[in-house]
Amino acid sequence: MAAYIARRLLLIIPTLIGILTINFLIIQAAPGGPVEQTLAKLEGLQSSTLPGGGTSGDTTTSSSEGSSYRGARGLDPRLVAEIEALYGFDKPAWERYLQMLGNYLTFDFGKSFYSDKTVVELIVEKLPVSISLGLWTTLLTYLISVPLGIRKAVKDGTRFDVWTSTAIIVGYAIPNFLFAILLIVLFAGGSYFDWFPLRGLTSPDFEQMTLIEKIGDYFWHITLPVLASVISSFATLTMLTKNSFLDEINKQYVLTAKAKGLTERGVLYGHVFRNAMLLIIAGMPAALVGIFFTGSMLIEVIFSLDGLGLLGYEAVINRDYPVIFGTLYIFTLIGLLMKLISDLTYVLVDPRIDFESRE
């Protein structure tokens, strides 16, 4: 098993390099980088200060006609060069790429273009919000899905199974961001009830509250975002639980146990439960990563929660490359490690599984 873990850890290195390389090439081809955005703002400011609505290019004697940036027309070439150096674009792409890889080996992700903070500081600052949303979403998802899936397996084909399957399909068909908007319209002052707050994770006067008031205020704010996140997560887990238990219930050892006089409950939780829960328990680390770092982005944007999802969204909009690549590197690394942990969890749940012998 040690050799398998070592191979998986070594495989993380080329995987990270490959993902960073592909995204770096895509970013180079995408228009509207930080230099272009800054030049466009300067061009707009100069245009707005000219009398008669003229453009800055009409009056500037030193122009940047030879520049590769469209927004550089009419600006001093020295100013354009300073802006390029400010964002690190005074070097060729291959040199910036190699410098990025070298820095990332030591977990040096640099500073944000638009914030006087390092990428690590921004991630640490936003992480509690995403962890809070992800943990409650995961907890509720498993508390609802696992018992419901077991019940559906036991009652397979009954009216209960049919009606709950219909409700699950309807819930799965609704995207979480659309369900979030529906919750806002219904319960956050949209058109009907004004029961829950619309923005943030706490109230402005949170620091002046007592401990009990802080707990109540926190759950008051987190209710709608968690409900919106759960709706897109529980359907898959419920059906996975049901199918896992159905597969085990129909096996020969279950029939043998029933023939020996064991009760249905004793067979279910004494024999079936461990084998059926193998896939569900082992998949928990990967589910956590998905909920923390991918599924929460739109929810955080809609409810104005200042977490990792909103940070990534704003970084893409503003072309904040250090934040984009830094978060991509960290999230990919965590995802790959969690995948390895998932494999190890399979072995812990069922020692008969041996990944090393399969290679």
Calculate what percentage of the chain has a pLDDT beyond 70: 81
pLDDT band at 351 (very low <50, low <70, confident <90, very high): low
Looking at residue 56, its pLDDT comes to: 38
CA distances in angstroms from 201 to 102, 115, 308, listed in the order given = 37, 22, 14
Strongest mean pLDDT among 51-60, 124-133, 186-195: 124-133
Looking at residue 155, its pLDDT comes to: 87
Q: What is the pLDDT of residues 9-34, one digit of tens each?
A: 888 889 988 988 998 888 877 777 77
Superfamily of domain covering 119-358: MetI-like (1.10.3720.10)
Higher-confidence position of 319 and 296: 319
Closest CA to 325 of 15, 20, 4, 14: 20
Query: Any idea where the domains of the chain sit in the sequence?
Result: 34-99, 119-358
Q: What is the pLDDT of residues 126-149, one digit of tens each?
A: 888 888 888 888 888 888 888 898
Mean pLDDT of all residues belonging to the chain: 78
Q: What is the mean pLDDT of residues 268-292?
A: 70
The yes-or-no verdict on residue 60 having pLDDT over 50 is no
pLDDT band at 44 (very low <50, low <70, confident <90, very high): low
pTM comes to: 0.72
Residues 6+ apart with CB under 8 A from 238: 144, 145, 148, 149, 152, 168
Closest CA to 60 of 81, 50, 74: 74
Looking at residue 163, its pLDDT comes to: 92
